[in-house]
Amino acid sequence: MAHNPEKIGSVVGTFQELYPGKKADVLFSCKWTKNVEVMARLLIPIAEHIYLTQFINKDNPDTNRVMRKEDLLSAFEKVGLMPQWFDNPQDAYRNVLKGEPEYLIVTGSFHLLRAIHQS
């Protein structure tokens, strides 16, 4: 799970190596402490569509320091990406799959992956 710029860069590089010339749908969320603009910029070369959401972990309130909707949207728009917003990870994941993407990358936070897995 890529949850910082270095790991996002690794995901992008690996994707480009494995699937040259291809793009992926990206489902993303992160904590408020992350440098989301840098991560968004790194995703540009491989992002077909960007889907943003936020996660809530009822079992552990400490993990709920999720980046606000406005900040996530702003960071991605600032680098020229036009993301689609979903209020919760489960809806985001289901909607992305309805589009039958060739490739899907879920990244940005372990908590996002957990929220999807629990649905």
pLDDT in tens, 19-52: 999 999 999 998 777 789 999 999 999 999 999 9
C-alpha angle 110-113-116 in degrees, rounded to nearest 5: 150
Residue range 65-81: average pLDDT? 91
Domain count within the chain: 1
The three-class DSSP label of residue 100 is coil
pTM across the whole model:
0.89
Q: Closest Cα partner for 30 from 5, 59, 49?
A: 5
Amino acid identity for residue 41 in this structure: R
Q: What local confidence, expressed as pLDDT, does residue 67 receive?
A: 80
Which backbone phi and psi does 57 adopt, to 5 degrees? Answer: -110, 100
Q: Which pLDDT band, with edges at 50, 70 and 90, does 114 fall under?
A: confident
What is the strand order of the sheet 24-28 is part of? 84-85, 47-52, 24-28, 104-107
- Residues spanned by the domain of 72: 5-15+23-117
Q: What local confidence, expressed as pLDDT, does residue 37 receive?
A: 94
List the single range of 11-15, 36-40, 56-60 with lowest mean pLDDT. Answer: 56-60
The domain that holds 107 is classified in CATH as 3.90.190.20
Q: Residue 111 pLDDT > 90, yes or no?
A: no
Q: What local confidence, expressed as pLDDT, does residue 59 receive?
A: 66
